């Protein structure tokens, strides 16, 4: 394949190019952040030259935004449907949702890197935060909030669920993402055990029955 490639000086692949460049941009920006990434690196990763990037993207900023949009767009997509589809008690539905979101965010490199982009570039790309908050974070919190409220209503959950509980319930997932992001392969954690511990703690708390 690469031999053929070498023979073809100019490959014309209008359909595929943008996708390849966005993918390369994801890898490059993940590796070094927006400012420190050279467009030449993106180009090299995509197997094109610098100029080609500008055929499809106006500026480095626009490429970055397009890339984040591409990778975050599919995130919430079916979360809603998934939660709606889920049957059973609120507890079961919460467990299912947590498992689902772990899969989508923490245990999925794409999800983790999106989180990194948001933290890393929130100052330079305020829209990145705005969009993600509006389209992903806020709706997720809302979903969980409604689930919690339903649980309180039907007596499954304790009455002291508050406005902040959703954030607190989801926090361990974000934290695991962060730990993976900064420690990479250095993180020695059994993720299944982590998720199980998370669910257990969220549902049952630390206190022994006797202590209550």
| Site residues (vs DNA, CB under 7 A) | 8-14, 17, 36-40, 48-52, 54-56, 58-61
CA distance 16 to 50: 16
- Total Cβ atoms within 10 A of residue 45: 17
Near a second copy by CB under 8 A, which window of 11-19, 58-66, 67-75, 159-167? 159-167
Nearer to DNA, 16 or 191 (CB): 16
CB of 95 to a second copy, least distance (A): 11
Burial class (CB in 10 A: 0-12, 13-18, 19+), 27: middle
Binding to a second copy by residue 164, rule CB under 8 A? yes
Nearer to DNA, 54 or 100 (CB): 54
Binding to a second copy by residue 204, rule CB under 8 A? yes
Structure tokens at 97: 């949702």
Q: Which partner, a second copy, DNA, none, binds residue 210 by CB below 5 to 8 Å per kind?
A: a second copy
Instruction: Determine contact, residues 85/145, Cβ cutoff 8 Å.
Output: no
CB of 31 to DNA, least distance (A): 13
CB of 118 to DNA, least distance (A): 20
Structure tokens at 190: 């059994």
Among 77, 81, 142, 171, binds a second copy (CB under 8 A): 171
CA distance 112 to 102: 10
Near a second copy by CB under 8 A, which window of 7-15, 20-28, 98-106, 196-204? 196-204
3 state SS of 187: coil
Among 116, 136, 143, 145, binds a second copy (CB under 8 A): 116
Nearer to DNA, 12 or 188 (CB): 12
Closest alpha carbon to 144 in 127, 122, 125, 161: 161
Binding to a second copy by residue 42, rule CB under 8 A? no
Instruction: Determine contact, residues 143/83, Cβ cutoff 8 Å.
Output: yes
Long-range own/partner contacts, residues 48-55 (CB < 8 A, 24 or more apart) = 48/17, 48/20, 48/21, 52/17, 52/21, 53/21, 55/17
Instruction: Determine contact, residues 55/73, Cβ cutoff 8 Å.
Output: no
- The residues of the shown chain that bind a second copy, judged by CB under 8 A, are 31-36, 91, 94, 116, 118-124, 129, 133, 148, 151, 155-165, 167-172, 174-176, 178-179, 181-183, 189-190, 193-194, 197-198, 200-212
């Amino acid at each position: 394949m690469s031999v053929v490639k070498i023979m073809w000086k100019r490959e014309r692949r209008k359909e595929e190019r943008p996708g390849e460049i966005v993918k390369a941009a994801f890898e490059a920006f993940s590796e070094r952040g927006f400012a420190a990434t050279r467009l030449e690196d993106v180009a090299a990763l995509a197997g094109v030259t610098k100029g080609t990037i500008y055929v499809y993207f106006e500026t480095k900023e626009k490429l970055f935004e397009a890339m984040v949009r591409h990778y975050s767009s599919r995130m919430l997509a079916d979360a809603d449907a998934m939660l709606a589809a889920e049957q059973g008690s609120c507890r079961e539905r919460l467990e299912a949702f947590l498992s689902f979101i772990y899969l989508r965010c923490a245990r999925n490199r794409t999800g983790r890197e999106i989180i990194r982009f948001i933290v890393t570039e929130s100052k330079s790309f305020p829209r990145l935060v705005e969009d993600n908050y509006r389209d992903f974070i806020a709706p997720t919190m809302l979903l969980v909030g409604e689930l919690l409220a339903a649980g309180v209503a039907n007596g499954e959950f304790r009455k002291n669920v508050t406005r902040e509980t959703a954030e607190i319930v989801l926090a361990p997932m974000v934290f695991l993402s962060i730990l993976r992001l900064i420690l990479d392969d250095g993180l020695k954690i059994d993720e299944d055990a982590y998720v199980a511990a998370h669910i257990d703690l969220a549902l049952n708390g630390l206190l022994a029955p006797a202590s209550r």
